[in-house]
Amino acid sequence: MSGRNLRLALFVVLAVTQLAVAAGAIIRSELALRSGEVFRFKLQPVDPVDAFRGRYVNLRFELDRAPVADRLPNLHNQKIYVPLAVDRDGFAVFDSAVLERPAAGHYLGMRCGIEYTDDNGGRVVSLALPFQHYYMTEELAREVDRSLWRRGRRPAWVTVRVRNGTGVIEDLYVDGRPVREWLETGGPEQPPAVTAIPEQ
Amino acid sequence: MSNRSIRWLLNELPGLVSDGVVDDATADRLRSRYPAPSSLTGSRLAIIVCAVFGALLIGSGVILLLAHNWEHLGRPARTVIAVLPLLASQVLAGWVLVRRGDSTAWREGSATLLALALAAAIALVDQTYHTGGDLESFLWRWSLLLAPLPWLLNSSSVAILFLAALTWWAGAAKADRLEVIWLWPLALAVVPHVVSVMRSDRRGLRAANLQWASAVFLCVAAGLGLEWRVPGLWILVYTGLFALMIAVGTATRRDEEGVWRRPLEAVGVAGSVVLWLILSFDEPWKHIGWHHIHNDERFHQAASFFDVALAVGLPLAALAAVTLILDRRRHTLAMVWTVSVPVAAIVWPLVAASENTDLRWIAALAFNLILFVVGIASITSGIRSQNLGTVNLGMMVIAALTVVRFFDAEIGFVAKGLAFIVIGIGFLAANVVMSRRLKRAEGGAP
């Protein structure tokens, strides 16, 4: 094989890899969105004036840690799986983190943060969920500027479709309503909802 | 001979002939020996620059359009929009590889476009599905998928983009306290391209640009890539790195080339001066060495060993380069500029091994002396070779040292004042001696 043909062959391999990485992400996400189980992840209350200024909303989850079984080694920086359950209010909670992919039930795969001991003396690891941003169009984000005068933190959560360890955000809810609807109907100008109970 | 020198010579020839310095036959022989440099080189360069910037702007424009987030298009349409520019630029690059492989403009342009289309595809997929996480994760995936392109498409602009993306990733990851041990192995991906450009056109613009990018990358990456487990290893790493750059740059340069064509030397010299000024304080020498090793679990074992390998390997490589490839008579000044390597090799272990903290003053003093000696050596060497740039460099080193010491709060005013006066008298004495010598030389001249 001449030098140029070798280069061309390797270039084709690289091009296919580049396409495969993009396509892989698309297919994984589409599968999760189409056939994944829905979970609600509660966010820390959002101040729209700060949150909707940029191109995306930085999601700060209330759920940012998981317990660890005592028999496991230190999990720092390892790939772990965290089984998901639902609490009384209908929001997702984490069961004990494990190293192997669970055989049954729903779970998320992610990289483990640092480990520490909670107030009850149990082992806990900090987690950064694999979805951290919610992207918006520039126009929608600008809607919020009109209501600059009404600051205040509002209850918020995201719905996430989970399939085979992959979680993909479906929608962002503020004051109990999907964020687009909330923005388009002057949500930021209304007073914050006192309680927002997700419709089951 | 450089193009500029040839043009100068050709312009001088008619005058030299009319003044009778050379005859017509000699002038003709000189003209045939040094033909006028064609302006073709310039136009070719302009074509390449246009291709690269055209691709850069179009690619960036596509990224901006995609960043707008056309939500109403729906997911299927947006995924197609994400992948289509990538596919198109891949096809273009493949076509260039087969049909226009010899054209630098085509190669650089299509490769740049492909690199940016790849970034756009990754970013738009992340945006569509709200996945992908941080900037650092994006930069990592982009760098990985970009790595083979510089060699495959023989493109220096993509090599520079790749090094920039990799450095940015390492910075972002380090800020998030993540592991960056893959920085060096991945950076090796540009080596085949750099070697092939250096082989085919060592004096060309692409080689110079690549050397600039590599030199700057090495400076930043040496700091970012370190695990910082043993405090103070950076002193040895950077001393060795800058000395190695100076030695290699000096050995491979041609004297008539300007600073822009000597990136290794320029970065090595500038980096050395800044480093030595920092090391001329005692603060960086506090709490260094094995006694102060961090035993936190955050540290990566292999990366810590790599730190030690760099701290030993780079100074050794610099010493080897100085002894093997530098010419003792022609490159005396460059050898003086690498004197910090043996000094650091002696002083660092002394300070690290001793519990006696006073030793760090010796280290700081040693680097003050290095700055002083190198400054004076540059000035004298510049005067001797009539090279104003070298004289100015030496004066800048001395001036920087003076300013830093003048405002150094750790030394008492009396000691500082006396030292300044003594050194000032030294300069005046040197002035008197040199003036006398000059007068004697002029008086002795016929």
Provide the token pair at A155.
Answer: 């209850």
Is residue B284 very low, low, confident or very high in pLDDT (cuts 50, 70, 90)?
A: confident
- In a 3-state reduction of DSSP, which class is residue A178? strand
Task: Compute the distance between CA of residue B423 and CA of residue B376 in angstroms, rounded to an integer.
Answer: 12
* Non-local CB neighbours of B347 within 8 Å, separated by 6+ positions: B362, B363, B366
Q: Find, in chain B, the residue whose alpha carbon is nearest to that of A25.
A: B125
Buried-exposed string A73-86: b where 16+ CB fall within 10 A, e elsewhere: eebebeebebbbee
pLDDT of residue B1: 60
Residue A74 CA to residue A72 CA, distance in Å, equals: 7
Confidence check: pLDDT of A35 > 80: yes
pLDDT tens figures, B130-141: 887 678 888 999
**How distant is the Cα of B86 from the closest Cα of chain A, in angstroms?**
8
Q: pLDDT exceeding 70 applies to what percent of chain A? A: 81
Lowest mean pLDDT among A147-156, B19-28, B43-52: A147-156
CB contacts of A33 in chain B (<8 Å) are 75, 129
Question: What whole-number distance in Å separates Cα of residue B369 and Cα of residue B107?
Answer: 50
Determine the pLDDT at residue A143.
63
Residues of chain A contacting B79 with CB distance shorter than 8 Å: 26
pLDDT at A19 over 80: yes
Confidence of residue B255 (pLDDT cuts 50, 70, 90): low
Per residue in B183-236, pLDDT (tens digit) is 889 999 999 999 998 888 777 788 888 999 999 999 998 888 887 777 888 999
Rounded to 10 deg, the angle between the B340-353 and B233-252 helix axes is: 170
Asked if the Cβ–Cβ distance from A26 to B118 is below 8 Å, we say no
DSSP annotation string for B321-389? HHHHHS-TTTTHHHHHHTTHHHHHHHHHHHHHH-S-TTHHHHHHHHHHHHHHHHHHHHHHHHHHTT-HH
Q: Among B20-24, B68-72, B285-289, which range has the highest average pLDDT?
A: B20-24
The better pLDDT of the pair A196, A75 is held by A75
Helices (H), B130-256: 135-146, 149-152, 156-175, 183-187, 191-200, 205-224, 233-252
Q: Does residue A16 sit at the B interface (CB-CB below 8 Å)?
A: no
Asked if the model's pLDDT at residue B164 lies above 90, the reply is yes
Q: How far is CA B134 from CA A56, A190, B140, B176, B221, in A?
A: 12, 32, 10, 10, 21
The answer, yes or no, to whether residue B147 has pLDDT greater than 90, is: yes
Put simply, the answer to whether B130 touches A133 (Cβ < 8 Å) is yes
The pLDDT of B422-444, averaged and rounded, is 77
B80 to chain A nearest CA, in Å? 10
Higher-confidence residue: A177 or A50? A177
pLDDT grade, residue B268 (50/70/90)? very high
d(CA A184, CA A198): 20
**A158: enclosing H helix or E strand:** strand A154-163
Q: Average model confidence (pLDDT) for chain B? A: 84
Partnered with residue A109 across adjacent β-strands are A81
Residue B376 near residue B398, CB atoms below 8 Å: yes
Give me the pLDDT at residue B276, please: 93
What pLDDT, on a 0 to 100 scale, did the predictor assign at position B77?
A: 84
C-alpha span between A70 and B129 (Å, rounded): 35
Which range has highest mean pLDDT (A53-62, A76-85, B433-442)?
Answer: A76-85
pLDDT of residue B404: 86
**Span B81-115, pLDDT tens digits:** 889 989 999 999 999 988 887 888 889 899 999 99
Greater confidence, A189 or B329?
A: B329
Closest residue by Cα to residue A146 from A184, A90, A199: A184
Range with the lowest mean pLDDT among A117-126, B142-151, B344-353, B409-418? B409-418
Smallest CA-to-CA distance from B377 within B441, B325, B434, B331 is with B331
pLDDT at B349 over 80: yes
Task: Using alpha carbons, select from B138, B75, B145, B85 the residue that is nearest to residue A31.
Answer: B75
The minimum CA-CA distance between B154 and chain A, rounded to whole Å, is 10
Provide mean pLDDT across the span B408-414.
76
Determine contact, residues B170/B180, Cβ cutoff 8 Å: yes
Query: How far is the C-alpha of B64 from the C-alpha of B241, rounded, in Å?
Result: 39
Name the residue with higher pLDDT: B351 or B445. B351
Task: Classify residue B133 by its DSSP letter.
Answer: -
Q: Which residue of A has its CA nearest to B73?
A: A137
Q: Residue A6 above 60 pLDDT?
A: yes
Asked if A29 and B129 come within 8 Å (Cβ–Cβ), the reply is yes
Residue B446 has what pLDDT? 46
Closest-CA distance of chain A to residue B365, Å:
42
Residue A41 Cα, gap to closest chain B Cα (Å): 14
State the pLDDT at residue A76. 77
Instruction: Say if A197 is an interface residue toward chain B (CB within 8 Å).
Output: no
Burial B404-417 (b: 16+ CB within 10 A, else e): bbeeeeeeeeeeee
As a residue count, chain B comes to 446
pLDDT at position B239, please?
Answer: 93
Determine contact: B11 vs chain A, CB below 8 A.
Answer: no
Confidence of residue B177 (pLDDT cuts 50, 70, 90): confident
Candidate from A51-55, B70-74, B288-292 with smallest mean pLDDT: A51-55
Long-range contact pairs involving B290-298 (C-beta distance under 8 Å, separation at least 24): B290/B230, B290/B352, B291/B352, B291/B355, B292/B230, B292/B231, B292/B232, B293/B229, B293/B230, B293/B231, B294/B228, B294/B229, B294/B230, B294/B231, B297/A74, B297/A76, B298/A76, B298/B177
Respond yes or no on whether ipTM tops 0.90. Answer: no
Is pLDDT above 80 for B267?
yes
* Contact indicator for B224, B170 with CB cutoff of 8 Å: yes
**Is B167 a residue whose pLDDT tops 90?**
yes
Is the pLDDT at B12 greater than 80, yes or no? yes
Sheet of A92-94, strands arranged across:
A65-67, A123-127, A107-117, A79-86, A92-94
Nearest to A169 among B71, B122, B130 (CB): B130
Amino acid residing at B235: I
Average pLDDT value for residue range A101-126: 85
* Rounded average pLDDT over A91-98: 89
Q: What pLDDT is attached to residue A18?
A: 94
Judge whether A159 is closer than 8 Å to chain B, CB to CB: no
Whole-angstrom CA distances from B356 to A82, A108, B100, B290 are 51, 54, 67, 14
Residue showing tokens 């919610």: A134
Q: Which long-range contacts (CB under 8 A, 24 or more apart) does B143-148 make?
A: B143/B169, B143/B186, B144/B186, B145/A14, B145/A17, B145/A18, B145/A21, B145/B118, B146/B115, B146/B118, B147/B186, B147/B189, B148/A10, B148/A14, B148/B189
Q: How many CB pairs under 8 A join A and B?
A: 100
Give the other-Cβ count within 10 Å of A132's Cβ.
19
Q: Is the Cβ of A138 closer than 8 Å to some Cβ of chain B?
A: yes
